Amino acid sequence: MVSGHAYGKSIRTVKTCVGMEHCRFGTQLAMSMGVKLEKMLFDMYAPHKVKLAVSGCPRNCAEAGIKDVGIIGVDSGYELYIGGNGGIKTEVAQFLCKVTSDEEVMEYSGAFLQLYRLEGWYLERTCHYLERVGMDYIKGKILEDEEGRKALYAALLAELKDAKDPWATSREPQAIKQFIPIMVEA
């Protein structure tokens, strides 16, 4: 990702374990899901930094339980957790719901992030936003209001539709090189 995503009020790279792709315990394709989320959310700015993780099984090697949005693979699909926070004052993410497909992971997590982007205060992490509005409020907006959830998700996708994928553009032949080698005389 471009360097601003390392320190801006934006999405960070999505942490994953190796998932079912490379682990005998994996129940879901964690790396694939992580790439889908990262591509969907690239260039997303928010009230504060946003961290996501995808673990391919309940062993939770990607530490999804302490991320703003954590996805944990289970036999029947995924469990979604929100409002976690690592660091000095660790907050354990709270269970939001269980979904069965990659598309649902993207819709539900995208809708939550868009709600947070719209209602979160500047410099308010998702754990503090969740504490302020309450889990019942979030569940009402995301789980109980299907039309509202789909509208939030569509709004997020519409706002991010023109974001350029930095990995794709860096591989184009006419891409600007970031570093120019310096000739050193012996």
Query: For all residues of the chain together, what is the average pLDDT?
Result: 90
Given strand 77-82, what is the order of strands in its sheet?
Answer: 15-16, 52-55, 69-74, 77-82, 94-99
Flag whether 150 is in a domain: yes
Q: Residue 165 above 80 pLDDT?
A: no
Flag whether 90 is in a domain: yes
Flag whether 180 is in a domain: no
Flag whether 93 is in a domain: yes
User: Is the CB of residue 16 less than 8 Å from the CB of residue 31?
Assistant: yes
Q: Residue 64 above 70 pLDDT?
A: yes
Flag whether 184 is in a domain: no
Range of the domain at 19: 3-163
Task: Look at the alpha carbons of 12, 13, 16, 20 in this order and tell me if their dihedral is positive or negative.
Answer: positive
CATH code for the domain of 62: 3.30.413.10
Across 43-65, average pLDDT: 95
* Total structural domains within the chain: 1
Across 11-36, average pLDDT: 93
Flag whether 170 is in a domain: no
Which pLDDT tens digit goes with each residue over 104-155? 999 999 999 999 999 999 999 999 999 999 999 999 999 999 999 999 999 9
Flag whether 44 is in a domain: yes
* CA–CA distance, 67 with 112 (Å, rounded to integer): 13
Highest-scoring range by mean pLDDT, 39-48, 141-150, 155-164: 141-150
* CA–CA distance, 68 with 53 (Å, rounded to integer): 8
Flag whether 62 is in a domain: yes
What pLDDT was estimated at residue 171?
61
Token duo for residue 166 = 């930095």
